[in-house]
Amino acid sequence: MAVQSDSGGKDDVKTQFVTREGTYRLMTLSEYSRPNRVGYTSGSGSTHVRVSLVTLPPGPGGGAPGSDGQGSDDRICFNHGKELYVYVYRGVKKAADLTKPVDKKMYKGTNPTCHDFNTVTMTSDSVSLVIGFSTGQIQLIDPIKKELSKLYNEERLIDKTRVTCIKWVPGSSNLFISAHASGQLYVYNEELTCGTTSPHYQLFKQGEGYSIHTCRTKSTRNPLYRWVIGSEGSCINEFAFSPCGTNLAVVSQDGFLRVFHYDTMELVGRARSYFGGFLCVCWAPDGRYVVVGGEDDLVTVWSLGERRVVARGQGHRSWVSVVAFDPYVAALAEPEREPGEATQCYRLGSVSQDTQLCLWDLTADVLRPPARARASAHLSPNGAPRGAGSPPAPAARPAPAPAAPPAPARVKDEGSGSLSAHFTQRLAGFSFGERRSEHRRNFSLARPAERRDCDPLRLIGTPACPRFDECPVLEPLVCKKVAHERLTALLFRAECLVTACADGCVNTWARPARAHATDTRRRDRERERDRLDLVD
Amino acid sequence: MSICQDLGLNFQQRMGANISQLERDIGSEQFPPNEHYFGLVNFGNTCYSNSVLQALYFCRPFREKVLEYKAKNKRTKETLLTCLADLFYSIATQKKKVGSIAPKKFIARLRKEKEEFDNYMQQDAHEFLNFLINHINEIILAERNQSTLKIQKTDGNKEGVTCNGTIPQNTEPTWVHEIFQGTLTSETRCLNCETVSSKDEHFFDLQVDVDQNTSITHCLKCFSDTETLCNDNKFKCDNCSSYQEAQKRMRVKKLPLILALHLKRFKYMEQYNRHIKVSHRVVFPLELRLFNTSDDAVNPDRLYDLVAVVVHCGSGPNRGHYISIVKSHGFWLLFDDDMVDKIDASAIEDFYGLTSDIQKSSETGYILFYQSRDASC
Query: Is the per-residue pLDDT at A453 higher than 70?
Result: no
Mean pLDDT in chain A?
A: 79
- pLDDT confidence tier of residue A452, bands split at 50, 70 and 90: low
**What pLDDT does A21 receive?**
87
Q: Is the pLDDT of residue A514 over 70?
A: no
Instruction: Tell me which of 3.40.50.300, 2.40.128.630, 2.40.30.10, 1.10.287.610 is the CATH number of domain A232-371+393-536.
Output: 2.40.128.630
Q: How far apart are CA B178 and CA B182, in angstroms?
A: 9
Answer whether B217 sits within 8 Å of A297, measured CB to CB.
yes
Are residues B209 and B219 in contact, defined by beta-carbon separation less than 8 angstroms? Answer: yes
Q: Where are the domains of chain A?
A: 30-229, 232-371+393-536
Predicted local distance difference test score (pLDDT) of residue B147: 78
Count of A-B CB contacts under 8 Å:
90
Mean pLDDT of chain B, nearest integer: 87
Residue in A closest to B372 by C-alpha: A457
Which of B4, B47, B59, B237 does the annotation list as catalytic?
B47
pLDDT for res A330: 57
Q: How far apart are CA B61 and CA B88, in angstroms?
A: 13
pLDDT digits (tens, 9 = 90+) for B298-356: 889 999 999 999 999 998 877 899 999 999 999 999 999 999 999 999 899 999 999 88
pTM score, whole prediction: 0.84
Asked if residue B4 has pLDDT above 60, the reply is: no
B321 catalytic per annotation: yes
More confident residue, A71 or A158: A158
From the CA of B330, how many Å to the nearest CA of chain A? 11
**What CATH class has B14-375?**
alpha beta
Q: Tell me: the pLDDT tens digits for B348-372?
A: 999 999 988 776 778 999 999 999 9
What digits encode the pLDDT tens for the residues A69-92?
A: 555 799 999 999 999 999 999 988
> In which element (H, E) is residue A394 found?
none
Residue ranges of alpha helices (H) inside A279-435 are 339-342, 364-367, 408-411, 420-430
Q: Give the whole-number percent of chain A exceeding pLDDT 70.
A: 71
Q: Model confidence at A38, in pLDDT bands (50, 70, 90)?
A: low
d(CA B318, CA A168): 54
- The pLDDT of B195-212, averaged and rounded, is 94
Interface test with A, best of B211, B329, B352, B355 (most A CBs within 10 A): B355
Give the CA distances from residue B188 to residues A532, B239, B293, B296, in Å, rounded to whole numbers and listed in that order.
65, 12, 15, 15
Phi and psi torsions of B86, nearest 5°: -60, -40
Q: Which one of A111, A299, A354 makes the best mutation probe of the B interface by having the most chain B beta carbons within 10 Å?
A: A354
Q: What is the mean pLDDT of residues A164-189?
A: 97
- Residue in chain B closest to A319 (alpha carbons) equals B215
Cβ–Cβ below 8 Å for B213 and A276: no
pLDDT, tens digit, for every residue of B59-104? 999 999 999 999 998 777 899 999 999 999 999 999 999 999 999 9
Distance from CA of A276 to the nearest CA of B (A): 5
Residue A236 has a pLDDT of 97
Inter-chain residue contact A1 with B356, CB threshold 8 Å: yes
Name the band, by pLDDT with cuts 50, 70 and 90, for residue B282. very high
Query: For position A42, what pLDDT does the model report?
Result: 47
Nearest-CA residue of chain B relative to A161?
A: B346
A462 interfacial to chain B (CB closer than 8 Å): no
The whole-number pLDDT of residue A44 equals: 45
A293 touches chain B (CB under 8 A): no
Per-residue pLDDT reduced to its tens digit, A389-404: 334 444 333 333 333 3
Q: What pLDDT sits at residue B169?
A: 52
The residues with which A397 forms a beta bridge, in sequence order, are none
Distances (CA, A) of A55 to A117, A122, A127: 10, 9, 10
Distance from CA of A233 to the nearest CA of B (A): 11
**Could you give the percent of chain A with pLDDT greater than 90?**
59
Across the interface, of B218, B300, B304, the residue whose CB is closest to A317 is: B218
In contact, A184 and A228? CB cutoff 8 Å: yes
Q: Name the residue with higher pLDDT: A436 or A459.
A: A459
> In this predicted structure, what is the pLDDT of residue A455?
87
According to DSSP, the residues that pair with B242 across neighbouring strands are: B237
Contacts of A3 (CB under 8 A, 6+ apart): none
CB distance A9–B288 less than 8 Å?
no
pLDDT surpassing 70 at residue B15: no
Q: Do B212 and A274 touch (CB under 8 A)?
A: no
Nearest to A8 among B211, B291, B304 (CB): B211
| Higher per-residue pLDDT: A128 or A419 | A128
* Active site annotation includes B135: no
Instruction: With a cut of 70, say whether residue B231 has pLDDT above it.
Output: yes
Asked whether residue B105 carries a pLDDT value surpassing 70, the answer given is yes
Q: Is the pLDDT of residue A347 over 80?
A: yes
ipTM higher than threshold 0.85: yes
Interface test with A, best of B30, B208, B210, B214 (most A CBs within 10 A): B214
User: Of the candidates B172, B262, B256, which has an alpha carbon nearest to the alpha carbon of residue B216?
Assistant: B262
Query: Which entry of B262, B280, B312, B321 is annotated as an active-site residue?
Result: B321
pLDDT tens digits for range A237-276:
999 999 999 999 999 999 999 999 999 999 999 999 999 9
| Top mean-pLDDT range of A121-135, B112-126, B159-173, B233-247 | A121-135
From chain B residues 286-315, the ones with a CB under 8 A of any chain A CB are 286-289, 291, 300-301, 303-304
Residue A6 to residue B212, Cβ atoms within 8 A: yes
Q: Identify the pLDDT of residue A364.
A: 86
Tell me, what's the pLDDT at B139? 94
Above 80 in pLDDT, residue A407?
no
Cis peptide before A223 (omega within 30 of 0): yes
Instruction: Band the pLDDT of B24: cuts 50, 70, 90.
Output: confident
More confident residue, A499 or A197: A499
Q: Which residue has the higher pLDDT, B28 or A498?
A: A498
Q: Is the pLDDT of residue A337 over 50?
A: no
A491 CB-side CA count, 13 A: 20
Residue B286, min C-alpha distance to chain A (Å) = 6
Q: In the CATH hierarchy, which fold is given to the domain comprising A30-229?
A: Methylamine Dehydrogenase; Chain H (2.130.10)
What does the pLDDT read at residue B159?
45
- Cα distances (angstroms) measured from residue A107 to each of A46, A87, A103, A128, A149: 13, 18, 13, 19, 14
pLDDT value at residue B318: 77
Cα–Cα dist A24/A498, whole Å: 11
pLDDT in tens, A1-23: 333 334 444 568 999 999 988 99
Considering only A47-56, A110-119, A445-454, B319-328, which range has the smallest mean pLDDT?
Answer: A445-454
Give the rounded percent of residues in chain B with a pLDDT score beyond 90.
67
In angstroms, the CA A360 to CA A476 distance is 5
CA distance A367 to A311: 7
Cβ burial of A398 (10 Å; 0-12, 13-18, 19+) is middle
State how far the Cα of A202 lies from the Cα of A40, in Å rounded to an integer: 49
Query: What is the pLDDT, as a whole number, of residue B84?
Result: 97
Q: What tens digit of pLDDT does each residue of A114-156 get?
A: 999 999 999 999 999 999 999 999 999 999 998 889 999 999 9
